Amino acid sequence: MSAVLEIGGLNTRIETAGGVIRALDDVSFEIARGETFAVVGESGCGKSMTALSIMRLLPEAAWIDSGRVDQEGRRLLELPEYEMRDVRGRRIGMIFQEPATSLNPVMTCGEQIVEVLERHGIARGAAARARALDWLQRVGIPDPAQRMDDYPFQLSGGMKQRVMIALALCSEPEVLIADEPTTALDVTIQAQILDLLVELQRSNGMAMLLITHDLGVVARMAHRVALMYAGEMIEIGSRASFFARPLHPYAARLFAALPGSASRGSPLMTIPGMVPPLTTEFAGCRFAPRCAFAHARCEAEAPGWHMAATDGTTSHRARCHLLEEGEVPPLRAEAGAAAAALPVSQQGALLEVRDLKVHFPIRRGLFRRTVGHVRAVDGVSLTIGAGRTLALVGESGCGKTTVGKGLLQLIAPSAGSIRFDGRELAGAPAKVLRQSRSLMQIVFQDPFASLNPRMRVGEIIAEGMASFGLGVDQAGRDREAASLLAQVGLPADARDRYPHEFSGGQRQRIAIARALAVEPKLIVCDEPTSALDVSVQAQILNLLADLQRERGVALLFITHNLAVVEHLAHDIAVMYLGRIVESGSADEVLRRPRHPYTQALLAAVPRIEGGAEAPQVADRKLFADLPSPANPPAGCHFHTRCSRATAECAAAYPEARIVSQTHRVHCIHAQ
């Protein structure tokens, strides 16, 4: 095996106010030509630091303490800076997570690609432009001649990432480092970008270092996988062997924490505790404090690499004492018991939404007249039964968050009816509205923006109670706050602390406690876990399921994450450009999807079940981007991206087809 990139004993440190962080500790691996090597791990594990250390693009407070990075015989860490610059962009290309901010906003896309070509003496002038144009075509940008002179802000997120890829690959580097290349993108766009990377790798034969937190992406893309934990690589193996039989207890736990249809109806496995701070001098195994199999040796002695299986060319190894002792930690939770149905309390409808519309005016011209509307929500109808979970699924910009805010009247709906427990809330007088606010509460996505940093946790939880006059006095509210904190799994002394002292997952628990404090019957959960790591997500999902069981609270779960939907939803509504295209019970929508959009969405989700096969290319692909909700396509909004579209589709928006008592779909081609 000829390695294009070899990393040996890499140690990277960051200086912070709290001490020196050991961001990377003895990281070693190699990547062969044409190979995709995936580094996976939860946030803060050092996976991005690995990439930046290889490129020598570390932030200013960080430095490489020791180690070796060899790229085809070049010792990168010993090169003077000016020679290293010849390596960057020429030998090693890199793409980043945020396409929106990673391109220079005041240079055209063409200029930014030409700049690379000219910098590395590959082409200049007209030749460079021609080459850049060719690359824009290769990365699948429609109308590339036009796009050459566009500025990045004129492109969608997916298109920007394609430009980034063109920019990184136009000098045909031997290695491509992709740092979370699809994390900021929607699942259908993610599928496109991943396919593009696979195709380009096949034609160029480059090696790829893929950095991601998403095991699904790994399963789809990688040849070999490395798992990182607390600055250390703890498991390396081929994809097949890694997904078939993870060796490290952390890996096994991580798999068990993944939500999906297999875990439906049963709590997810979680990992107790938290990642230790990297300022610690570790004596033993870093995972030992959280490991179910830890014994005395784990605390005292750092485990070395232990081989488990050899499957032809690549070895599968992990840093765990158990392997040396011949014991392989048991695997994921038993799948058999899992397929149980979700507990359901069948009652009447709690919330009935009919034809909800939220339009934002677009004003133009001399008198700021309203020349049009952004139809963020354009006629949505939903029904949520008491104690049930309805998942509202869609890509970013489809209006799903606006639905949530419209229901709570955080944004005034333009039209439609919202009946809660038989009472009409849309257009209700302020007094009725104020009373009804305790019935519906909301949990937001960003755990850092959803708690006021200047208030104590106790005050945060008590705010709603005080507002509704619940709890007789301060002491009563304090008692209530303490019992709520206990319910969401936080210590009682949390009450007197400030939000910044808590981690993302703990903050989300506080946000849930705050919502529960006013005893709502419905909680709108707006992407409550999408900012969290998998293991923390599992804890929050379990918590929500427990609360639903104990309190009978209904959930409107707004998300783009289909795996989460599969895990917890009773009913599903799929939203596209302000309208619901398909709705039904979870089983109906997930197993027998009728709308082409639902089908494409489901197909685009990378799944780890397919991990044993070769990198797959999804069969039902969506090419174009999401159209603007200010100017949705005529007729069926989806027909511009639909493979089954006919002339008829552009004529009128399709009426609902009733598939079953609960299952409805807006498509004339739905069988």
Partner 1 sequence: MTAYLVRRLVYAFLILIGVNLITFWLFFKVNTPDDIARLQLGAKRVTPDAIAKWKAERGYDKPLLYNGSAEGAKRFTETIYFEKSVAMFMLDFGRADDGRDIWFEIRNRAGPSLAVQVPVFIVGLGVNVSFALLLALFRATRFDFASQVFLVAMMSISSLFFIIAGQYVFSKLWHLVPISGYAGGADAFKFLVLPVAIGIFGSLGGATRLYRTIFIEEMGRDYVRTARAKGMSELVVLFRHVLGNGMIPILTGVVVVIPGLFVGSLLTESFFGIPGLGSYTIEAIQAQDFGVVRSMVFIGSVLYILGLVLTDISYTIVDPRVRLDT
Partner 2 sequence: MNFMVVVLWTDVLLFILLAVCLAYARHAARRPHLRAPWARMARSASGMAAATVLSAFALIGVLDSLHYRPLIEAKPGVPGPARYAVEVRSVLDLVIQGVLGPMAGKSEKTYSAPLATHAFSRENIERPGPDGKPRQVREYPRLANGGAHLKDPAREWAADVATHAVRGMVFGFIAWLALAFVLLGAYAANHQEDGGIAGVWGDAWSGRGRLPWRSILITLLVICLCAGVAATLGSRYHLLGTDKVGQDVLYLALKSVRTALIIGTLTTLVMLPMGVLLGIAAGYFGGWIDDAIQYVYTTLNSIPGVLLIAASVLMMQVAIDANPGWFATAAERADFRLLCLCFILGMMSWTGLCRLMRGEALKLRELEYVQAARAFGVSRLAIIVRHILPNVMHLVIISAVMDFSGMVLTEAVLSYVGVGVDPSMSSFGSMINAARLEMSRDPMVWWSLAAAFFFMLALVLAANLFADAVRDAFDPRLSPKRRRRGLLAKASA
Q: Residues in the site for partner 1, rule: CB under 8 A?
A: 55, 57, 60, 82, 85-90, 93-94, 96, 98, 101-107, 115-116, 119-120, 151, 153, 164, 167-168, 364-366, 368
The position carrying tokens 């566009």 is 150
DSSP bridge partners of 585: 571
Token pair for 525: 């959960």
CB nearer to partner 2: pick between 3 and 455: 455
Tell me the closest approach of the beta carbon of residue 526 to partner 2, in angstroms: 9
Distance CA 396, CA 560 (A): 8
Using CB under 8 A as the binding rule, whether residue 433 contacts partner 2 is answered as: yes
CB nearer to partner 2: pick between 126 and 500: 500
CB nearer to partner 1: pick between 153 and 448: 153
Tell me the closest approach of the beta carbon of residue 171 to partner 1, in angstroms: 8
**Host H or E run for residue 389:** strand 389-393
Quote the DSSP letter at residue 491: -
Using CB under 8 A as the binding rule, whether residue 62 contacts partner 2 is answered as: yes
CB nearer to partner 1: pick between 81 and 550: 81
Tell me the closest approach of the beta carbon of residue 442 to partner 2, in angstroms: 5
Residue 177: phi, psi to the nearest 5?
A: -105, 120
Residue 603 binds: one of partner 2, partner 1, none (C-beta under 5 to 8 A by kind):
none
List Cβ<8 Å contacts ≥24 apart for 198-202: 198/615, 198/617, 200/138, 200/139, 200/165, 200/169, 201/34, 201/36, 201/176
Distance CA 538, CA 531 (A): 12
Asked if 21 and 280 touch (Cβ cutoff 8 Å), the reply is no
Tell me the closest approach of the beta carbon of residue 561 to partner 1, in angstroms: 25
Residues 516-555 that bind partner 2 (CB under 8 A): 518
Binding region for partner 2 (CB under 8 A) out of 74-82, 138-146, 386-394, 479-487: 74-82
Q: Is 85 helix (H, G, I), strand (E, B) or coil?
A: helix
Residue 249 binds: one of partner 1, partner 2, none (C-beta under 5 to 8 A by kind):
none
CB nearer to partner 2: pick between 154 and 279: 279
Distance CA 555, CA 548 (A): 8
Residue 200 binds: one of partner 2, partner 1, none (C-beta under 5 to 8 A by kind):
none
Q: Which of 146, 310, 452, 483 is close enough to bind partner 2 by CB under 8 A?
A: 452
Residue 106 binds: one of partner 1, partner 2, none (C-beta under 5 to 8 A by kind):
partner 1
- Give CA torsion, residues 169, 607, 399, 421, to 10 deg: -170
Quote the DSSP letter at residue 335: S
Residues 14-43 that bind partner 2 (CB under 8 A): 15
Residue 85 binds: one of partner 1, partner 2, none (C-beta under 5 to 8 A by kind):
partner 1
Tell me the closest approach of the beta carbon of residue 366 to partner 1, in angstroms: 4
Encoded amino acid at 202, one letter: R
CB nearer to partner 1: pick between 93 and 593: 93
Asked if 665 and 581 touch (Cβ cutoff 8 Å), the reply is yes
For 607-662, the DSSP string reads: -GGGGGSSPP--SS---SPPPPTTSPPSSSGGGGT-TT--GGGGTSPPPPEE-SSS
Residue 647 binds: one of partner 1, partner 2, none (C-beta under 5 to 8 A by kind):
none
The position carrying tokens 């799994």 is 489
Distance CA 88, CA 471 (A): 62
Tell me the closest approach of the beta carbon of residue 101 to partner 1, in angstroms: 4
Distance CA 462, CA 340 (A): 38
Distance CA 330, CA 254 (A): 13
Using CB under 8 A as the binding rule, whether residue 514 contacts partner 2 is answered as: yes
The whole-angstrom distance between residue 383's C-alpha and the CA centroid of its chain comes to 27
Tell me the closest approach of the beta carbon of residue 222 to partner 1, in angstroms: 22
Binding region for partner 2 (CB under 8 A) out of 86-94, 278-286, 417-425, 509-517: 509-517
Using CB under 8 A as the binding rule, whether residue 423 contacts partner 2 is answered as: no
Show the site string, 388-407: x = touches partner 2 by CB under 8 A, - = not.
Answer: -----------------x--
Distance CA 663, CA 591 (A): 12
Tell me the closest approach of the beta carbon of residue 410 to partner 2, in angstroms: 5
Distance CA 634, CA 580 (A): 16
Using CB under 8 A as the binding rule, whether residue 360 contacts partner 2 is answered as: no
Quote the DSSP letter at residue 277: P
Tell me the closest approach of the beta carbon of residue 600 to partner 2, in angstroms: 31
Residue 55 binds: one of partner 1, partner 2, none (C-beta under 5 to 8 A by kind):
partner 1
Residue 391: phi, psi to the nearest 5?
A: -95, 125
Token pair for 189: 């766009």
Residues near partner 2 (CB under 8 A): 13, 15, 56, 60-67, 77-81, 405, 408, 410, 433-434, 437-438, 440-442, 444-446, 449-455, 460, 463-464, 467-468, 498, 500, 511, 514-515, 518
